[in-house]
Structure 1
Amino acid sequence: MRILLAEDDSSIAEGICASLHHGGHAVDHAARGNLADAALRDYEYDLLVLDLGLPALDGSEVLRRLRDRGTSMPVLVVTARDGLAERIRVLDLGADDYLVKPFELAEFEARVRALLRRASSQGKPELQLGRLRVDLPGHRAWIEQTPLDLTAREFGLLEALALRADRVTSRAQLVAALCNWDQELTDNGLDIAIHRLRRKLRDSGTSVRTIRGLGYLLEEVNEARITSS
Protein backbone atom coordinates (compact mmCIF):
# COMPACT_ATOMS: atom_id res chain seq x y z
CA MET A 1 0.00 0.00 0.00
CA ARG A 2 1.07 3.60 -0.50
CA ILE A 3 1.63 5.70 2.61
CA LEU A 4 2.45 9.38 3.07
CA LEU A 5 4.69 10.24 6.03
CA ALA A 6 4.57 13.90 7.11
CA GLU A 7 7.47 14.29 9.57
CA ASP A 8 10.12 17.01 9.84
CA ASP A 9 12.57 15.15 12.12
CA SER A 10 14.91 13.40 9.68
CA SER A 11 16.05 10.68 12.10
CA ILE A 12 12.48 9.76 13.03
CA ALA A 13 11.42 9.87 9.39
CA GLU A 14 14.28 7.59 8.40
CA GLY A 15 13.29 4.98 10.99
CA ILE A 16 9.60 5.10 10.08
CA CYS A 17 10.31 4.89 6.35
CA ALA A 18 12.58 1.89 6.88
CA SER A 19 9.90 0.19 8.97
CA LEU A 20 7.18 0.80 6.38
CA HIS A 21 9.41 -0.28 3.48
CA HIS A 22 10.24 -3.46 5.39
CA GLY A 23 6.49 -4.05 5.68
CA GLY A 24 6.20 -3.93 1.89
CA HIS A 25 4.68 -0.46 1.55
CA ALA A 26 5.54 2.34 -0.87
CA VAL A 27 6.30 5.46 1.19
CA ASP A 28 6.47 9.14 0.27
CA HIS A 29 8.01 11.54 2.80
CA ALA A 30 7.10 15.21 3.20
CA ALA A 31 9.10 17.23 5.75
CA ARG A 32 6.87 20.33 5.59
CA GLY A 33 3.14 20.70 6.12
CA ASN A 34 2.52 22.54 2.86
CA LEU A 35 4.28 19.76 0.93
CA ALA A 36 2.17 17.13 2.69
CA ASP A 37 -1.01 19.06 1.88
CA ALA A 38 0.01 19.30 -1.78
CA ALA A 39 0.85 15.59 -1.96
CA LEU A 40 -2.53 14.69 -0.48
CA ARG A 41 -4.22 16.72 -3.19
CA ASP A 42 -2.18 15.26 -6.04
CA TYR A 43 -1.78 11.57 -5.15
CA GLU A 44 -3.85 8.72 -3.78
CA TYR A 45 -2.73 7.22 -0.48
CA ASP A 46 -3.95 4.41 1.74
CA LEU A 47 -2.70 5.98 4.99
CA LEU A 48 -1.31 9.27 6.29
CA VAL A 49 1.21 9.19 9.15
CA LEU A 50 1.14 12.75 10.43
CA ASP A 51 3.32 14.72 12.84
CA LEU A 52 1.60 17.79 14.29
CA GLY A 53 4.62 20.08 14.66
CA LEU A 54 5.36 20.57 10.97
CA PRO A 55 6.95 23.73 9.55
CA ALA A 56 5.14 25.88 6.96
CA LEU A 57 1.75 24.34 7.83
CA ASP A 58 0.86 22.74 11.16
CA GLY A 59 -0.17 19.09 11.07
CA SER A 60 -3.56 19.96 12.55
CA GLU A 61 -4.25 22.22 9.56
CA VAL A 62 -3.12 19.48 7.16
CA LEU A 63 -5.63 17.15 8.84
CA ARG A 64 -8.42 19.74 8.80
CA ARG A 65 -7.95 20.43 5.09
CA LEU A 66 -7.88 16.70 4.33
CA ARG A 67 -11.20 16.10 6.09
CA ASP A 68 -12.75 19.26 4.61
CA ARG A 69 -12.12 17.75 1.18
CA GLY A 70 -14.22 14.78 2.23
CA THR A 71 -11.34 12.30 2.26
CA SER A 72 -11.85 9.34 4.58
CA MET A 73 -8.26 8.04 4.34
CA PRO A 74 -7.07 6.78 7.75
CA VAL A 75 -4.72 9.11 9.62
CA LEU A 76 -2.27 8.05 12.32
CA VAL A 77 -0.97 11.05 14.27
CA VAL A 78 2.52 10.63 15.75
CA THR A 79 3.51 13.56 17.94
CA ALA A 80 5.26 14.65 21.11
CA ARG A 81 2.12 16.54 22.18
CA ASP A 82 0.72 14.20 24.82
CA GLY A 83 -1.86 16.24 26.71
CA LEU A 84 -5.38 14.81 27.00
CA ALA A 85 -7.00 17.97 25.63
CA GLU A 86 -4.70 17.86 22.59
CA ARG A 87 -5.52 14.21 21.91
CA ILE A 88 -9.23 14.92 22.08
CA ARG A 89 -8.87 17.95 19.81
CA VAL A 90 -6.95 16.02 17.15
CA LEU A 91 -9.28 13.01 17.26
CA ASP A 92 -12.23 15.36 16.89
CA LEU A 93 -10.52 16.90 13.85
CA GLY A 94 -10.65 13.49 12.20
CA ALA A 95 -7.56 11.52 13.21
CA ASP A 96 -8.14 7.77 13.47
CA ASP A 97 -5.36 7.02 15.96
CA TYR A 98 -2.84 8.91 18.08
CA LEU A 99 0.65 7.75 19.08
CA VAL A 100 2.88 9.76 21.40
CA LYS A 101 6.62 10.05 20.77
CA PRO A 102 8.86 8.35 21.68
CA PHE A 103 7.27 5.04 20.73
CA GLU A 104 8.37 1.51 19.94
CA LEU A 105 8.39 0.62 16.26
CA ALA A 106 6.59 -2.64 17.03
CA GLU A 107 3.61 -0.69 18.41
CA PHE A 108 3.71 1.73 15.47
CA GLU A 109 3.68 -1.17 13.00
CA ALA A 110 0.75 -2.82 14.81
CA ARG A 111 -1.27 0.41 14.66
CA VAL A 112 -0.50 0.80 10.94
CA ARG A 113 -1.65 -2.77 10.31
CA ALA A 114 -4.87 -2.20 12.25
CA LEU A 115 -5.72 1.01 10.37
CA LEU A 116 -4.96 -0.51 6.97
CA ARG A 117 -6.96 -3.62 7.83
CA ARG A 118 -10.02 -1.56 8.72
CA ALA A 119 -9.69 0.69 5.68
CA SER A 120 -8.93 -1.94 3.06
CA SER A 121 -11.23 -4.78 4.04
CA GLN A 122 -13.98 -3.13 6.08
CA GLY A 123 -12.74 -4.83 9.25
CA LYS A 124 -12.40 -8.27 7.67
CA PRO A 125 -8.98 -9.87 8.16
CA GLU A 126 -8.94 -11.33 4.63
CA LEU A 127 -10.28 -10.79 1.14
CA GLN A 128 -11.31 -13.82 -0.90
CA LEU A 129 -11.98 -14.35 -4.58
CA GLY A 130 -12.33 -17.85 -5.97
CA ARG A 131 -9.83 -20.02 -4.10
CA LEU A 132 -7.56 -17.04 -3.56
CA ARG A 133 -7.29 -15.58 -0.05
CA VAL A 134 -5.39 -12.35 0.59
CA ASP A 135 -4.32 -10.99 3.98
CA LEU A 136 -3.64 -7.35 3.06
CA PRO A 137 -2.03 -6.02 6.26
CA GLY A 138 -0.10 -9.26 6.76
CA HIS A 139 1.16 -9.27 3.15
CA ARG A 140 0.26 -12.93 2.67
CA ALA A 141 -1.82 -14.82 0.13
CA TRP A 142 -2.94 -18.43 -0.29
CA ILE A 143 -4.61 -20.64 -2.86
CA GLU A 144 -6.90 -22.47 -0.46
CA GLN A 145 -4.37 -23.57 2.20
CA THR A 146 -1.24 -23.33 0.04
CA PRO A 147 0.82 -20.14 0.56
CA LEU A 148 1.63 -18.12 -2.54
CA ASP A 149 5.30 -17.27 -2.97
CA LEU A 150 5.12 -13.64 -4.10
CA THR A 151 7.78 -10.97 -4.35
CA ALA A 152 7.08 -7.60 -2.74
CA ARG A 153 6.23 -6.14 -6.17
CA GLU A 154 3.95 -9.05 -7.05
CA PHE A 155 2.10 -8.76 -3.76
CA GLY A 156 1.78 -5.00 -4.21
CA LEU A 157 0.26 -5.61 -7.62
CA LEU A 158 -2.13 -8.24 -6.25
CA GLU A 159 -3.05 -5.91 -3.39
CA ALA A 160 -3.87 -3.01 -5.75
CA LEU A 161 -6.03 -5.28 -7.91
CA ALA A 162 -7.73 -7.02 -4.98
CA LEU A 163 -8.76 -3.71 -3.42
CA ARG A 164 -10.56 -2.91 -6.69
CA ALA A 165 -11.74 -6.40 -7.53
CA ASP A 166 -15.13 -5.02 -8.57
CA ARG A 167 -13.76 -2.42 -10.98
CA VAL A 168 -10.99 -1.80 -13.49
CA THR A 169 -7.59 -0.62 -12.23
CA SER A 170 -5.66 1.56 -14.64
CA ARG A 171 -1.96 1.20 -15.37
CA ALA A 172 -1.40 4.61 -13.75
CA GLN A 173 -3.10 3.42 -10.55
CA LEU A 174 -0.94 0.29 -10.50
CA VAL A 175 2.24 2.30 -10.98
CA ALA A 176 1.19 4.72 -8.21
CA ALA A 177 0.50 1.82 -5.83
CA LEU A 178 3.86 0.18 -6.52
CA CYS A 179 6.18 3.20 -6.47
CA ASN A 180 7.06 6.09 -4.23
CA TRP A 181 8.57 9.40 -5.37
CA ASP A 182 12.08 7.94 -5.43
CA GLN A 183 11.24 4.93 -7.59
CA GLU A 184 10.31 4.39 -11.21
CA LEU A 185 8.47 1.52 -12.87
CA THR A 186 8.72 1.21 -16.63
CA ASP A 187 5.90 -0.11 -18.79
CA ASN A 188 7.99 -3.20 -19.42
CA GLY A 189 8.53 -3.68 -15.68
CA LEU A 190 4.80 -3.52 -15.02
CA ASP A 191 4.08 -5.96 -17.85
CA ILE A 192 6.61 -8.41 -16.44
CA ALA A 193 5.07 -8.18 -12.95
CA ILE A 194 1.57 -8.76 -14.35
CA HIS A 195 2.78 -11.76 -16.38
CA ARG A 196 4.44 -13.33 -13.32
CA LEU A 197 1.40 -12.71 -11.12
CA ARG A 198 -0.91 -14.28 -13.70
CA ARG A 199 1.28 -17.37 -13.78
CA LYS A 200 1.21 -17.73 -9.99
CA LEU A 201 -2.59 -17.26 -9.87
CA ARG A 202 -3.22 -19.95 -12.50
CA ASP A 203 -4.70 -22.47 -10.03
CA SER A 204 -6.50 -19.93 -7.85
CA GLY A 205 -9.83 -19.63 -9.66
CA THR A 206 -8.99 -15.98 -10.40
CA SER A 207 -7.37 -14.18 -13.30
CA VAL A 208 -5.99 -10.75 -14.15
CA ARG A 209 -7.95 -9.74 -17.24
CA THR A 210 -6.78 -6.97 -19.56
CA ILE A 211 -9.49 -4.44 -20.37
CA ARG A 212 -8.12 -2.91 -23.54
CA GLY A 213 -7.56 0.82 -23.27
CA LEU A 214 -8.64 0.95 -19.61
CA GLY A 215 -6.52 -1.30 -17.44
CA TYR A 216 -6.86 -4.58 -15.56
CA LEU A 217 -9.51 -6.46 -13.62
CA LEU A 218 -8.98 -9.18 -11.01
CA GLU A 219 -11.93 -11.50 -11.42
CA GLU A 220 -13.16 -14.97 -10.55
CA VAL A 221 -13.19 -17.30 -13.56
CA ASN A 222 -14.21 -20.89 -14.24
CA GLU A 223 -11.71 -23.67 -14.74
CA ALA A 224 -12.23 -23.77 -18.51
CA ARG A 225 -11.18 -20.13 -18.88
CA ILE A 226 -8.15 -20.63 -16.63
CA THR A 227 -7.04 -23.63 -18.69
CA SER A 228 -7.43 -21.80 -22.00
CA SER A 229 -5.77 -18.54 -20.90
Structure 2
Amino acid sequence: MSLLQVRNLKKSYGGVAAVADVSFDLPAGQLLALLGPNGAGKTTCFNMVNGQLRPDSGSILFDGHELVNMAPRNIWRLGVGRTFQIAETFGSMTVVENVQMALLSREKKIFHLWRPAASHYRDEAMDLLSQVGMEAQAARPCSVLAYGDVKRVELAIALANRPKLLLMDEPTAGMAPQERNALMALTKKLVVERNIAVLFTEHSMDVVFAYADRMIVLARGKLIAEGDGETIRNHPKVKEVYFGSGSTFTRKKKEAV
Protein backbone atom coordinates (compact mmCIF):
# COMPACT_ATOMS: atom_id res chain seq x y z
CA MET A 1 0.00 0.00 0.00
CA SER A 2 1.28 3.47 -0.90
CA LEU A 3 2.22 5.85 1.91
CA LEU A 4 0.02 8.61 0.43
CA GLN A 5 -3.26 7.83 -1.30
CA VAL A 6 -5.23 10.71 -2.80
CA ARG A 7 -8.68 9.80 -4.06
CA ASN A 8 -11.27 11.85 -6.01
CA LEU A 9 -10.08 15.19 -4.66
CA LYS A 10 -12.32 18.13 -5.58
CA LYS A 11 -12.23 21.86 -4.88
CA SER A 12 -14.28 24.61 -6.52
CA TYR A 13 -14.40 28.39 -6.22
CA GLY A 14 -17.61 30.12 -7.25
CA GLY A 15 -18.67 27.20 -9.40
CA VAL A 16 -15.28 26.93 -11.13
CA ALA A 17 -13.52 23.62 -10.51
CA ALA A 18 -9.94 24.28 -9.39
CA VAL A 19 -9.34 20.56 -8.77
CA ALA A 20 -11.70 18.02 -10.33
CA ASP A 21 -11.64 14.39 -9.23
CA VAL A 22 -7.86 14.03 -8.88
CA SER A 23 -6.42 10.73 -7.63
CA PHE A 24 -2.84 9.52 -7.27
CA ASP A 25 -0.56 7.39 -5.09
CA LEU A 26 2.89 8.05 -3.65
CA PRO A 27 4.96 5.22 -2.13
CA ALA A 28 7.85 5.68 0.28
CA GLY A 29 11.25 6.33 -1.28
CA GLN A 30 9.91 8.12 -4.35
CA LEU A 31 9.97 11.71 -5.65
CA LEU A 32 6.71 12.67 -7.33
CA ALA A 33 6.52 15.95 -9.25
CA LEU A 34 3.16 17.74 -9.41
CA LEU A 35 3.15 19.75 -12.64
CA GLY A 36 0.85 22.00 -14.59
CA PRO A 37 0.65 25.40 -16.28
CA ASN A 38 -0.63 28.45 -14.42
CA GLY A 39 -4.21 27.86 -13.36
CA ALA A 40 -3.93 24.09 -13.66
CA GLY A 41 -4.86 23.50 -10.02
CA LYS A 42 -1.52 22.16 -8.80
CA THR A 43 -1.15 24.72 -5.98
CA THR A 44 -4.72 24.08 -4.82
CA CYS A 45 -4.09 20.33 -4.88
CA PHE A 46 -0.77 20.71 -3.05
CA ASN A 47 -2.33 22.91 -0.35
CA MET A 48 -5.13 20.43 0.24
CA VAL A 49 -2.61 17.67 0.88
CA ASN A 50 -0.76 19.80 3.46
CA GLY A 51 -3.96 20.88 5.20
CA GLN A 52 -3.95 24.57 4.26
CA LEU A 53 -7.10 24.10 2.18
CA ARG A 54 -10.11 21.91 2.87
CA PRO A 55 -11.36 19.91 -0.13
CA ASP A 56 -15.04 19.94 -1.08
CA SER A 57 -14.88 16.16 -1.29
CA GLY A 58 -12.40 13.32 -1.61
CA SER A 59 -9.91 11.50 0.59
CA ILE A 60 -6.24 12.08 1.49
CA LEU A 61 -4.97 9.00 3.29
CA PHE A 62 -1.47 9.20 4.76
CA ASP A 63 0.00 6.17 6.49
CA GLY A 64 -3.50 5.02 7.40
CA HIS A 65 -4.64 8.45 8.65
CA GLU A 66 -7.29 10.56 6.93
CA LEU A 67 -5.89 14.09 6.52
CA VAL A 68 -9.05 15.80 5.31
CA ASN A 69 -10.29 18.26 7.97
CA MET A 70 -7.10 17.78 9.99
CA ALA A 71 -5.19 20.91 11.08
CA PRO A 72 -1.74 21.46 9.49
CA ARG A 73 -0.06 21.18 12.90
CA ASN A 74 -1.59 17.76 13.46
CA ILE A 75 -0.63 16.67 9.95
CA TRP A 76 2.94 17.74 10.70
CA ARG A 77 2.94 15.66 13.88
CA LEU A 78 1.95 12.57 11.91
CA GLY A 79 5.23 12.87 9.99
CA VAL A 80 4.58 15.24 7.09
CA GLY A 81 7.38 17.77 6.59
CA ARG A 82 7.14 20.92 4.50
CA THR A 83 9.41 23.38 2.74
CA PHE A 84 8.19 26.59 1.13
CA GLN A 85 8.69 28.44 -2.17
CA ILE A 86 10.19 31.32 -0.16
CA ALA A 87 12.45 29.80 2.49
CA GLU A 88 11.19 30.37 6.04
CA THR A 89 13.83 30.63 8.76
CA PHE A 90 14.43 32.94 11.72
CA GLY A 91 16.98 35.39 10.33
CA SER A 92 18.07 36.69 13.74
CA MET A 93 18.85 33.21 15.02
CA THR A 94 21.87 31.11 14.16
CA VAL A 95 21.67 28.18 11.79
CA VAL A 96 21.87 25.62 14.57
CA GLU A 97 19.31 27.49 16.71
CA ASN A 98 16.80 27.34 13.84
CA VAL A 99 17.13 23.56 13.74
CA GLN A 100 17.01 23.31 17.53
CA MET A 101 13.70 25.20 17.54
CA ALA A 102 12.27 22.63 15.13
CA LEU A 103 13.47 19.82 17.38
CA LEU A 104 11.94 21.50 20.44
CA SER A 105 8.65 21.82 18.59
CA ARG A 106 8.76 18.13 17.67
CA GLU A 107 9.11 17.27 21.35
CA LYS A 108 6.38 19.80 22.33
CA LYS A 109 8.82 21.77 24.49
CA ILE A 110 8.59 25.22 22.90
CA PHE A 111 6.60 26.56 25.87
CA HIS A 112 8.32 24.47 28.53
CA LEU A 113 11.88 25.75 28.49
CA TRP A 114 13.46 25.41 31.91
CA ARG A 115 16.95 26.02 30.55
CA PRO A 116 18.27 28.07 27.61
CA ALA A 117 17.10 26.80 24.22
CA ALA A 118 20.72 26.67 23.00
CA SER A 119 21.34 23.71 25.31
CA HIS A 120 18.51 21.57 23.87
CA TYR A 121 19.11 18.93 21.19
CA ARG A 122 22.32 20.55 19.94
CA ASP A 123 23.96 17.27 18.98
CA GLU A 124 20.93 16.17 16.97
CA ALA A 125 20.72 19.58 15.33
CA MET A 126 24.38 19.42 14.34
CA ASP A 127 23.87 15.94 12.90
CA LEU A 128 21.02 17.25 10.72
CA LEU A 129 23.15 20.17 9.57
CA SER A 130 25.93 17.74 8.70
CA GLN A 131 23.51 15.78 6.52
CA VAL A 132 22.63 18.89 4.49
CA GLY A 133 26.20 20.21 4.32
CA MET A 134 25.70 23.15 6.70
CA GLU A 135 27.57 21.99 9.81
CA ALA A 136 30.45 24.43 9.22
CA GLN A 137 28.03 27.38 9.21
CA ALA A 138 26.10 26.36 12.33
CA ALA A 139 27.07 29.46 14.34
CA ARG A 140 26.21 31.99 11.62
CA PRO A 141 22.94 33.95 11.66
CA CYS A 142 20.57 32.80 8.93
CA SER A 143 20.24 36.42 7.81
CA VAL A 144 23.78 36.44 6.36
CA LEU A 145 23.55 33.17 4.41
CA ALA A 146 23.40 32.84 0.66
CA TYR A 147 19.91 31.87 -0.51
CA GLY A 148 20.96 28.36 -1.51
CA ASP A 149 22.33 27.79 1.99
CA VAL A 150 19.09 29.05 3.56
CA LYS A 151 17.27 26.41 1.51
CA ARG A 152 19.58 23.76 2.96
CA VAL A 153 18.82 24.97 6.48
CA GLU A 154 15.11 24.83 5.71
CA LEU A 155 15.57 21.23 4.55
CA ALA A 156 17.31 20.38 7.85
CA ILE A 157 14.40 21.99 9.72
CA ALA A 158 11.92 19.88 7.73
CA LEU A 159 13.91 16.73 8.51
CA ALA A 160 13.90 17.52 12.24
CA ASN A 161 10.41 16.05 12.51
CA ARG A 162 11.64 12.73 11.05
CA PRO A 163 9.08 12.96 8.25
CA LYS A 164 7.81 10.01 6.27
CA LEU A 165 6.46 12.42 3.65
CA LEU A 166 8.09 15.67 2.59
CA LEU A 167 6.08 18.32 0.74
CA MET A 168 8.27 20.76 -1.20
CA ASP A 169 6.69 23.82 -2.80
CA GLU A 170 8.94 25.11 -5.61
CA PRO A 171 12.08 23.95 -3.75
CA THR A 172 14.52 25.54 -6.21
CA ALA A 173 12.69 28.86 -6.76
CA GLY A 174 15.12 31.78 -6.88
CA MET A 175 18.20 29.58 -7.12
CA ALA A 176 20.94 29.49 -9.75
CA PRO A 177 21.20 26.32 -11.89
CA GLN A 178 24.15 24.93 -9.94
CA GLU A 179 22.36 25.55 -6.62
CA ARG A 180 19.18 23.94 -7.95
CA ASN A 181 20.93 20.75 -8.92
CA ALA A 182 22.93 20.58 -5.69
CA LEU A 183 19.79 20.91 -3.55
CA MET A 184 17.81 18.33 -5.50
CA ALA A 185 20.71 15.89 -5.59
CA LEU A 186 20.91 16.21 -1.80
CA THR A 187 17.14 15.71 -1.50
CA LYS A 188 17.31 12.61 -3.70
CA LYS A 189 20.12 11.20 -1.55
CA LEU A 190 18.17 11.76 1.67
CA VAL A 191 15.02 10.24 0.16
CA VAL A 192 16.90 7.04 -0.59
CA GLU A 193 18.72 6.92 2.75
CA ARG A 194 15.62 7.67 4.87
CA ASN A 195 13.00 6.06 2.60
CA ILE A 196 11.03 9.32 2.51
CA ALA A 197 8.27 10.05 0.01
CA VAL A 198 8.46 13.51 -1.61
CA LEU A 199 5.70 15.42 -3.37
CA PHE A 200 6.98 18.59 -4.99
CA THR A 201 5.85 21.33 -7.34
CA GLU A 202 8.44 22.80 -9.66
CA HIS A 203 8.67 25.08 -12.68
CA SER A 204 12.26 24.18 -13.64
CA MET A 205 11.92 21.29 -16.06
CA ASP A 206 15.63 20.50 -15.84
CA VAL A 207 15.15 19.72 -12.14
CA VAL A 208 11.98 17.72 -12.76
CA PHE A 209 13.46 15.44 -15.40
CA ALA A 210 16.75 15.00 -13.60
CA TYR A 211 15.35 14.02 -10.20
CA ALA A 212 11.65 13.06 -10.25
CA ASP A 213 10.87 9.34 -10.28
CA ARG A 214 7.34 10.03 -11.49
CA MET A 215 5.29 13.00 -12.59
CA ILE A 216 1.61 13.86 -12.59
CA VAL A 217 0.35 16.66 -14.81
CA LEU A 218 -2.78 18.74 -14.18
CA ALA A 219 -4.65 20.97 -16.62
CA ARG A 220 -7.81 22.90 -15.78
CA GLY A 221 -8.08 21.00 -12.52
CA LYS A 222 -7.94 17.54 -14.06
CA LEU A 223 -5.15 14.97 -14.04
CA ILE A 224 -4.24 14.48 -17.69
CA ALA A 225 -1.08 12.38 -17.47
CA GLU A 226 0.98 10.30 -15.05
CA GLY A 227 4.24 8.41 -15.45
CA ASP A 228 8.00 8.63 -15.74
CA GLY A 229 9.87 11.29 -17.69
CA GLU A 230 9.73 9.51 -21.03
CA THR A 231 6.00 8.85 -20.70
CA ILE A 232 5.26 12.48 -19.85
CA ARG A 233 7.54 13.85 -22.55
CA ASN A 234 5.74 11.88 -25.24
CA HIS A 235 2.20 12.19 -23.89
CA PRO A 236 -0.02 13.87 -26.53
CA LYS A 237 -2.24 15.70 -24.02
CA VAL A 238 0.80 17.08 -22.19
CA LYS A 239 2.26 18.37 -25.45
CA GLU A 240 -1.04 19.92 -26.42
CA VAL A 241 -2.20 21.41 -23.12
CA TYR A 242 0.98 22.08 -21.14
CA PHE A 243 3.66 22.60 -23.75
CA GLY A 244 1.78 23.75 -26.82
CA SER A 245 3.50 22.24 -29.83
CA GLY A 246 5.97 20.42 -27.62
CA SER A 247 9.01 22.30 -28.88
CA THR A 248 9.61 24.09 -25.58
CA PHE A 249 9.19 20.84 -23.70
CA THR A 250 11.65 19.00 -25.94
CA ARG A 251 14.21 21.78 -25.55
CA LYS A 252 13.94 21.75 -21.76
CA LYS A 253 14.21 17.98 -21.72
CA LYS A 254 17.47 18.18 -23.68
CA GLU A 255 18.77 20.83 -21.27
CA ALA A 256 18.17 18.47 -18.38
CA VAL A 257 20.30 15.69 -19.84
TM-score > 0.5 by shorter chain: no
More relative contact order, 1 or 2 (CA 8 Å, 6+ apart): 2
- TM-score normalised per structure 2: 0.28
